């Protein structure tokens, strides 16, 4: 059943069109220039809208990237709740938040990993998200000269675990409860975060 | 320059043909039935040879699987040197051996990951190798009721790190020295192995 387009409300349709034009332009620009290289100004120009409209509809560039991916969870909000508590116990919060968000959507995660790694595209949206949301957020908490390398390794641990659980569906990991994974894996992950290393 | 086929040595050509027939049959059987389901007997039957010839040319089924993959390193020999020292310090041996083997062949590893995860084939040779060589070898060393889950997580850590280093080429991890990776990552990996947990 398709809802009939109502008369007298052209603004709603125009907003939908504008949002869609911005998303299309953002996908094109992110694919061509990467997250860092794609400017809000260039995206606005390609969409034929004023740059202020992008902020109005989507917020900042990270939020625009997430919007282009049409994910069932918002990783920016999730990671914010993880890092705001600081490094102590962050491994457990990271795992619980990650698994809580993606366990119900494991098919989506699996498709993302498959298309990202299968394509060989270094500017694939998931990689831009890993670099510019996950790793950037981790860096806001980690300390020490080697924190960039540790942030890479933490991202690798998270994606390696999720690939085994959701994509490869290796047993017993695929069927393990969140509590079991947290109990075994959080101490290992916390070693890389530092602080209250047990 | 092609070496001319010598006269009077038909056995050499026949051996090459037999080896190739066995490899072709093994690839077909592993793809159709998986590592566990594919029997040496069925592979021999499909190749039209006696089963004893498979052992003669390749050894056991794991070695036959590795032979079908035509890898630049032999993971069975590598993992054997890692596990024979027992759990103490195994994380460092595992990382040094893994990076020593694959750093010079990062393109091959990258292609393996891409084709394995891109294909969506649960019986892809790399996954069979992970389950039946890497995880099986880890289980020969790990102790405790949760050792299967820990072996899954160790495999995930290794593949996650290698995916970031070789496939995604995330910096600074992609350009870090083996010593740097070992220094930061071995304690984390050793937590899952157990024993001399620092």
The full set of domain ranges for chain A reads: 12-69, 75-193
Nearest CB partner across the interface for A160, out of B115, B156, B187: B156
The mean pLDDT value of chain B amounts to: 89
Cβ atoms of A127 and B168 within 8 Å: the answer is yes
Query: How many other β-carbons are positioned within 10 Å of the β-carbon of residue B61?
Result: 19
Query: C-alpha distances in angstroms, A182 versus A83, A176, B115, B144?
Result: 17, 10, 30, 17
Cβ contact A130–B168 (<8 Å): yes
Write down the architecture of domain A12-69 according to CATH: Orthogonal Bundle (1.10)
Query: In this predicted structure, what is the pLDDT of residue B198?
Result: 41
Average pLDDT of A59-85?
A: 92
> Within 13 A of A146's CA, how many CA atoms are on the CB side?
16
Q: Which residues of B touch A122 (CB under 8 A)?
A: 168-169
Supply A122's token pair.
């270094």
Name the CATH architecture for the domain at B75-193: Orthogonal Bundle (1.10)
- Whole-number Å distance between alpha carbons of A49 and A8: 23
- Tens-place pLDDT, residues A130-164: 999 999 999 999 999 999 999 999 999 999 999 99
Question: Considering only CB atoms, which residues of chain A are within 8 Å of chain B?
Answer: 113-115, 117-120, 122, 127, 130-131, 135, 146, 148-150, 152-153, 155-161, 163-165, 167-173, 176, 180-181, 184-185, 187-189, 191-192
Predicted pLDDT of residue B11: 62
The neighbour count for residue B196, using CB atoms within 10 Å, is 12
Chain A positions in Cβ-Cβ contact with residue B176 (cut-off 8 Å): 149
* A173-182, B122-131, B164-173: the lowest-pLDDT one: B122-131
Query: pLDDT above 70 covers what percent of chain A?
Result: 92
- The 10s digit of each residue's pLDDT in B38-80 is 999 999 999 999 999 999 999 999 999 999 989 998 999 999 9
**Contact: A156, B155; criterion CB under 8 Å:** no
CA atoms within 13 A on the CB side of B189: 28
CB atoms within 10 A of CB B133: 20
Cα A25 from chain centroid (whole Å): 19
Determine, for residues B117 and A163 on separate chains, whether the beta-carbon distance falls below 8 Å.
Answer: yes
Compute the half-sphere exposure of residue A51: CA atoms within 13 Å on the CB side of its CA: 9
CA B168/CA B165 separation, integer angstroms: 6
Does pLDDT of B195 surpass 70? no
Q: What pLDDT, on the 0 to 100 scale, is given for residue A5?
A: 47
C-alpha span between A54 and A15 (Å, rounded): 12
| Helical residues (DSSP H) of A48-105, grouped into ranges | 51-58, 61-69, 75-83, 90-102
pLDDT beyond 70 at B173: yes
Torsional class of B169: left (φ above 0), alpha (ψ -120 to 50), beta (otherwise): left
Question: What is d(CA A138, CA A125) in angstroms, rounded to the nearest whole number?
Answer: 19
ipTM of the complex: 0.86
**Which pLDDT score, from 0 to 100, does residue A80 have?**
93
Across the interface, whether the CB atoms of B168 and A113 are under 8 A apart is answered no
φ, ψ for residue B7, nearest 5 deg: -80, 160
Angstrom CA distances, A125 to A71, A160, B90, B108, B187, stand at 11, 18, 36, 24, 32
Closest residue on chain A to B116 (Cα): A118
Question: Which residue in chain A is spatially nearest to B177 when comparing CA positions?
Answer: A149
Quick: pLDDT tens for A155-174: 999 999 999 999 999 999 99
Give the distance from residue A185's alpha carbon to the nearest chain B alpha carbon, in angstroms.
7
Residue from A153, A169, A183 whose CB has the most chain B CBs within 10 Å, to mutate: A153
Q: Check B159 against A164: CB less than 8 A apart.
A: yes
pLDDT at A1 over 70: no
Cα gap B97→B94, rounded to integer Å: 5
Is the separation of the CB atoms in B136 and B73 below 8 Å? no
pLDDT at A195: 60
Residue B37 has pLDDT above 80, yes or no: yes
User: B150 is written with which tokens?
Assistant: 């820990």
| Cβ distance of B189 and A189 shorter than 8 Å | no
What's the mean pLDDT when you consider all of chain A?
A: 89
| Chain A residues near residue B168 by CB distance under 8 angstroms | 122, 127, 130
Q: What are the start-end ranges of the H helices in chain A?
A: 10-37, 40-47, 51-58, 61-69, 75-83, 90-102, 106-119, 125-129, 136-139, 147-162, 178-193
Report d(CA B195, CA A30) in Å as an integer.
46
């Amino acid at each position: 059943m398709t809802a009939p387009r109502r008369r007298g409300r052209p603004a709603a349709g125009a907003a939908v069109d504008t949002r869609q034009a911005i998303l299309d332009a953002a996908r094109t620009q992110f694919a061509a220039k990467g997250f860092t290289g794609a400017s809000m100004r260039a995206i606005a120009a390609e969409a034929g809208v004023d740059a202020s409209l992008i902020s109005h509809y989507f917020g900042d560039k990270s939020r625009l990237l997430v919007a282009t991916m049409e994910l069932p969870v918002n990783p920016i909000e999730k990671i914010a709740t993880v890092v705001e508590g600081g490094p102590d116990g962050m491994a457990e919060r990271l795992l619980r938040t990650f698994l809580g968000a993606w366990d119900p959507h494991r098919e989506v995660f699996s498709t993302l990993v498959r298309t990202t790694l299968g394509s060989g595209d270094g500017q694939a949206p998931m990689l831009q998200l890993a670099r510019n949301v996950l790793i950037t957020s981790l860096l806001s908490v980690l300390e020490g000269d080697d924190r960039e390398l540790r942030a890479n390794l933490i991202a690798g641990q998270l994606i390696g675990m999720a690939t085994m659980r959701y994509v490869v569906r290796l047993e017993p990991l695929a069927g393990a409860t969140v509590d079991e994974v947290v109990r075994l894996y959080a101490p290992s992950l916390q070693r890389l975060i530092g602080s209250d290393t047990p």
